[in-house]
Amino acid sequence: MPHTTQIFQVSTLYGAATLAAALDAGLFGPRGEARRILLVSNNAAVPETALRLDEMHGYARIAGRFDSVVSWNEAIRPYHPSSWGPRGNDTVIWQRAFRLAWGIGERDRIDLAVESIQVSPGRALAAIFSEAAVHVYADGLMSYGPTRNRLPLTIGWRIRRLLHLDLIPGLTPLLLSEFGVQPEVVPDAAFRRVLDEISEDAAGDPRLAPVLAQKPTAVLLGQYLAAIDILSADEEEDLHVRMLTGAARAGHRSVVFKPHPTAPASYSAALSKAAAEAGVRLTVLDAPLLAETLYHHARPELVVGCFSTAMVTASAYYGVPVGRVGTALVMNRLKPYANSNRVPLAVVDHLVPDLERDGTPAVLGAAPASLPPLVRAIGFCMQPETYRSLREPTVAWLHEHLADSPPHYFPELRLAELGLPGSRPQARARVRVRRARRVVRRAMRRGGARK
């Protein structure tokens, strides 16, 4: 008799925690009704030198919710998880190979749960297991933005639901809505219990003790935006210093900086100098711990960041006031306009007080009425072909609100490219010149190819 096997693909501990909460809440049925495989993917640029998921606190307890754990990196070696996908004619062969390697019967039904269907490994898995129902889970602010890559209909129509954390109550994810995919919330209580499990498992970590001894009242979150070519290293270093200055201006004298795992050591050195000048006691938590583990143990009174999801979880799950620094700068630097970080930036920019403009740190509540139409308008401008139905609402919104919106939300050139309200004749002329140049370049390339 055929059985059901559920394959859960994960690459981060935060994502694994989201899946664990969904399982605990019964969103994938009762335990024992299907066989559950945890498929771990290490998507780091050099996986062999990066921290493995199984080395992080709390992983073992999360893995215990599954019947078996397998490595995607090992399964497709020597290919890289972020760049490999099967050729169209090879999908049947790969499926047979994986069913054999993972002990899945030839006739067993397969359900997939992947963290991002837009890119590999999620997209590769959906192509290989072409009959499987697909469930997408999102663990951050990007779920509120549009689908960044156009999906084949053969995949899009198989997506049953989008599981997401209710980080901003009242704001509905735009992700995958073009396929009519219904978003489903992973219950807050279940997710918080999993975060507590992870935090309790990390309680004895010696790297946490020096931080707690300093009794920090503010947490600064680094994101390492230089790694994805949004800011230069010097600009990001300055952004961290600005975070510290904002915390100091808000009255905090003991601060902990949690750098991105791949950030260079020089960032901490620059912060130390700035802290000494400001009379602030700085501690750096250079350990592979979730920011939420720090919140659990340190109980800070303020979290400062640029647009990290960990800012919003601090507010949503721990009741910590948050403040932002540098969102306008980063949004101005995003290229192309469709960069998937744009909506998270806009959400934080719209909701979180700006510490550099004397904003008072605050605990976030439900989405104000102004946020959903703003996000939909930005989403349309990012992916106009995918979300054509949003054009008329976007035009109406721009007519009514553009004059009052920060200029970094809707650059004039982007509005001109899409023929939307708010662009002057000069901008529209620049767009026409650009298009003409592209046509000439394409024609020249074709002419050269014929020779």
DSSP string over 331-386: HHH-SSTT-TTHHHHHHHHHHS-BGGGTPPPB---SPPTTHHHHHHHHHHHH-TTT
Instruction: Please tell me the predicted confidence (pLDDT) of residue 48.
Output: 80
Least confident of 35-49, 97-111, 175-189, 240-254: 35-49
User: Is residue 424 predicted with pLDDT exceeding 90?
Assistant: no
Nearest alpha-carbon partner for 39 in 128, 142, 171: 128
Instruction: Please tell me the predicted confidence (pLDDT) of residue 269.
Output: 80
Say which residues have a Cβ less than 8 Å from residue 429's Cβ, sequence separation at least 6.
none
Instruction: Please tell me the predicted confidence (pLDDT) of residue 262.
Output: 59
Enumerate the domain spans of the chain: 4-195, 205-357, 376-432
User: Is residue 347 predicted with pLDDT exceeding 90?
Assistant: yes
Q: Which pLDDT band holds residue 449 (cuts at 50, 70, 90)? A: low
Domain 205-357 class in CATH:
alpha beta
How far is it, in rounded angstroms, from Cα 288 to Cα 310? 14
User: Is residue 451 predicted with pLDDT exceeding 60?
Assistant: no
Instruction: Please tell me the predicted confidence (pLDDT) of residue 264.
Output: 62
**Top-confidence residue, 178 or 139:** 178
**Top-confidence residue, 427 or 393:** 393
Instruction: Please tell me the predicted confidence (pLDDT) of residue 15.
Output: 95
Give the H or E element holding residue 36.
strand 35-40
Strands 281-284 and 182-186: unpaired
Q: For residue 337, is it left (φ>0), alpha (ψ between -120 and 50) or beta?
A: alpha
pTM for the complete prediction? 0.92
**Per-residue pLDDT tens over the stretch 326-342:** 999 999 999 999 999 99
Asked if 213 and 300 count as a contact pair (C-beta separation under 8 A), the reply is no
How far is it, in rounded angstroms, from Cα 101 to Cα 307? 41
Asked if 175 and 162 count as a contact pair (C-beta separation under 8 A), the reply is yes
User: Is residue 380 predicted with pLDDT exceeding 70?
Assistant: yes
Instruction: Please tell me the predicted confidence (pLDDT) of residue 286.
Output: 83
Nearest alpha-carbon partner for 362 in 333, 323, 399: 323
Instruction: Please tell me the predicted confidence (pLDDT) of residue 442.
Output: 72
User: Is residue 446 predicted with pLDDT exceeding 80?
Assistant: no
What integer is the mean pLDDT of 402-429? 88
Query: Which percentage of the chain shows pLDDT scores above 90?
Result: 82
What integer is the mean pLDDT of 368-383? 98
**Quick check: bond before 78 cis, omega within 30?**
yes
How far is it, in rounded angstroms, from Cα 437 to Cα 413? 16
Instruction: Please tell me the predicted confidence (pLDDT) of residue 8.
Output: 98
Q: What is the mean pLDDT of the chain?
A: 92
C-alpha to C-alpha distances, 252 to 249, 309, 311, 316, nearest whole angstrom: 7, 22, 17, 22
User: Is residue 154 predicted with pLDDT exceeding 80?
Assistant: yes
DSSP string over 234-294: HHHHHHHHHHHHHHHHTT--EEEEE--TT--HHHHHHHHHHHHHHT-EEEE--SS--HHHH
Sheet of 218-221: strand order equals 281-284, 254-258, 218-221, 302-305, 322-324
Q: How many CB atoms lie within 10 A of CB 3?
A: 12
Asked if 144 and 38 count as a contact pair (C-beta separation under 8 A), the reply is no
C-alpha to C-alpha distances, 197 to 46, 192, 293, 296, 319, nearest whole angstrom: 29, 9, 9, 10, 18
* Residue 135, helix vs strand vs coil: strand
**Per-residue pLDDT tens over the stretch 193-249:** 999 999 999 999 999 999 999 999 999 999 889 888 899 989 999 999 999 999 999
Ranked by mean pLDDT, which of 41-45, 151-155, 320-324, 418-422 comes out on top?
Answer: 320-324
User: Is residue 1 predicted with pLDDT exceeding 60?
Assistant: no
Nearest alpha-carbon partner for 188 in 400, 21, 437: 21
Nearest alpha-carbon partner for 243 in 234, 233, 231, 255: 255
For domain 4-195, the CATH architecture is 3-Layer(aba) Sandwich (3.40)
Report phi then psi at 272, rounded to 5: -60, -40
